[in-house]
Amino acid sequence: MDFTIKESSALYGLLAETTSDVILKTDLAGNIVHASPSLERLGFRVPNMLIGPRLLDLVAPEAREEVERTHADAIAGLGDEHWVEFPAITTDSRQRWFEIRTRALTDESGKAYGALSIMRSIDERRDLEAQLFAATYTDPLTKLTNRAAFISMLEHMVDKEMDGCLAMFSIDFFRTINMKFGQTTGDEVLVVFADLLREMLRADDIISRIGSERFAVLLPRTTPQQAEAICSRVIATLAELRQKVGESRFAITASAGVACIGESLDSTIERAEMALFVAKAKGRNRLEMERAGRGVSH
């Protein structure tokens, strides 16, 4: 089906053509009545029929409402013709990401009879964004989230007044391990402890490496008693294992402090750090709650 002069004008006013763009013409109901060949090159299959699939058939279920609303707004002359990102399921069953921008098609009287859309793949851009996010918020050694991510997540929990606890862990005598066995062995110790935390903590718990030998764990919707039990198991299990690290096999121990998530980020961190300081002062290889007398020795 050829484009009319009016449709061509709308197309060029919407976006300059590129070979990676998909051009879609839809009727008022959102049925695709024309699709450029690039649609199939991107992994979509469009039947060769007068009225093809609906625009929403290209969109993953979780994004259909937003795409449908954007299409309706364009036909009604509402909105600012902005780009809308959405996941799509292609013929190879892979979920790929696209963005779409839509403009109404109108007759000589100004009445809308359909819409013209430009759709393009944004998989590469999203991959780059994901890599940038990982580089910004991930500790490269342990692959845990880093201090910046931890602060952001704790701040969110505080702002939302979410119940839960913060646990601070510190590997005992880590500087001595580095000096005696070398930094490579020290790095292996950090990875061993990070893997133990992943294995022993719950799926909802958020684990971050926040310093040289320090780790923070956010325990959402957890009472102090539950947090004490969870973290005590970590301390006890670590002490019972004699890990093979580098050329040596030796026990690794850690100290921990736990505090309830309170009314501010600073006070929550301060109370957890104070509990950790008390645990170290009482001999290390132990857990200390933020209130005196609740330490657990191993």
pLDDT band at 23 (very low <50, low <70, confident <90, very high): confident
pLDDT score of 11: 52
Residues near 197 by beta carbon (within 8 Å), at least 6 away in sequence:
144, 169, 207, 215, 217, 234
Give pLDDT tens digits for 219-243.
999 999 999 999 999 999 998 887 6
30 falls in which pLDDT band (50, 70, 90)? Answer: very high
Report d(CA 270, CA 266) in Å as an integer. 6
And the tokens for 126? 């999203």
Q: Which member of 188, 213, 228, 273 is catalytic?
A: 213
290 given a catalytic annotation: no
Average pLDDT over the chain, rounded to whole?
84
pLDDT at residue 46, as a whole number: 55
pLDDT for 121-165, tens place per residue? 888 777 776 676 677 889 999 999 999 999 999 998 999 899 999
Longest dimension (CA), the chain: 85
Domains of the chain with CATH codes: 5-126 (3.30.450.20), 138-297 (3.30.70.270)
pTM of the entire predicted model: 0.60
Q: pLDDT (tens digit, 9 = 90+) per residue, 31-44?
A: 988 887 777 777 67
